[in-house]
Amino acid sequence: MESQMTQAGTIPLAYFGLADGHGAQAAPTSLGEGKARELVHLFKLLADETRLRIIYYLMQQNEMNVRTFCRLLRQSQPAVSHHLALLRSAGVIECRRDGKHNFYRLILKKCQAYLDAVFEVDAGKNRSIKLDDALLTYGRDGQAS
């Protein structure tokens, strides 16, 4: 298999869509500065273990209150509230107050927009990212994944 030397090492040309080394491929689409900044901000938020766990829990439950997060995360209310505020300011979660309790849930349209940006490809192509031995795919209802 032919390969190309890069700073990271030898990468098979098939990874670049140029298995024969001569094939002409369409240029990759550009991410755009605004979208890139937004995704970098999101990935920095999710790089924190507590915030990642909050998102993970909210993916399993429709909504959760702060006290439940405190118990699951084994953190104080001020610490959990700080992480929730950061995710809320990024537009990933929203809050609903019921009496003395705040309940948080994912903003699904915003999460969908982030996934669309990460997996953005031409309409007719499969939405996937190849990582060594793993293939990460993404599809929405009515689309192939």
**pLDDT at position 120, please?**
66
- Nearest CA-CA partner of 103 in 34, 50, 54: 54
For the chain, give the longest Cα–Cα distance: 66
Integer Rg of the chain from CA: 20
Query: Per residue in 89-145, pLDDT tens?
Result: 988 999 999 999 999 999 887 777 776 676 665 455 566 666 677 776 766 655 544
Q: Choose between 9 and 133: higher pLDDT.
A: 133
Query: Per residue in 13-54, pLDDT tens?
Result: 555 554 455 555 666 666 678 878 888 888 888 899 999 999
Query: Per residue in 63-86, pLDDT tens?
Result: 999 999 999 999 999 999 999 999
**pLDDT at position 38, please?**
81
The predicted model scores a pTM of 0.64
**pLDDT at position 114, please?**
72
Fold entry, domain 35-106: Arc Repressor Mutant, subunit A (1.10.10)
Residue 88 CA neighbour count, 13 Å, CB half: 13
Q: Where are the domains of the chain?
A: 35-106
**pLDDT at position 144, please?**
46
Secondary structure (3-state) at 143: coil
pLDDT bracket for residue 3 (50, 70, 90) = very low
Residue 8 CA neighbour count, 13 Å, CB half: 4
